[in-house]
Amino acid sequence: MMVLGHSRCGAVTAAVGTEGKSEGNIGTILETISPAVTLARNEAKSKEKAVLVEAAIDQNIKLVCKSLITQSEVIKHLAHGGKLKIVGAKYDLDDGKVTLFDGK
């Protein structure tokens, strides 16, 4: 199972810009992304927005990989039994390459 994020994501860019203050359906999406934004702010080497957005995209991919295990008994069972592997990856819109994330 692949969790495939992508560079220059508009949803993550919006989440970095608003810090979850939007309302309605978009607000719900941004709230879901906000833990990744917090992690990115803590670890990013630069406060530049484009750097933060890419760091938040990476963190969001990792968090979604983890949440698949914690939110689905079926996926957890298969993953722990070695029948399913969850792989995070990022699609680069500029060169079309997909980079796989290592392990954890």
Residues contributing to the site for Zn ion (CB under 5 A): 9, 11
Our CB check for Zn ion shows the closer of 29 and 75 to be 29
Identify whether the C-beta of residue 102 lies closer than 8 Å to the C-beta of residue 87: no
Our CB check for Zn ion shows the closer of 11 and 75 to be 11
Our CB check for Zn ion shows the closer of 8 and 21 to be 8
Paired residues of 13 in beta bridges: none
> Least Å distance between CB 28 and Zn ion?
15
Identify whether the C-beta of residue 80 lies closer than 8 Å to the C-beta of residue 73: no
> Least Å distance between CB 50 and Zn ion?
15
Q: Residue 67's Cα: distance from chain center in Å? A: 10
- Which residues fall within 8 angstroms of residue 21, CB to CB, at 6 or more apart? 27
Q: Give the residue at shortest CB distance from Zn ion.
A: 9
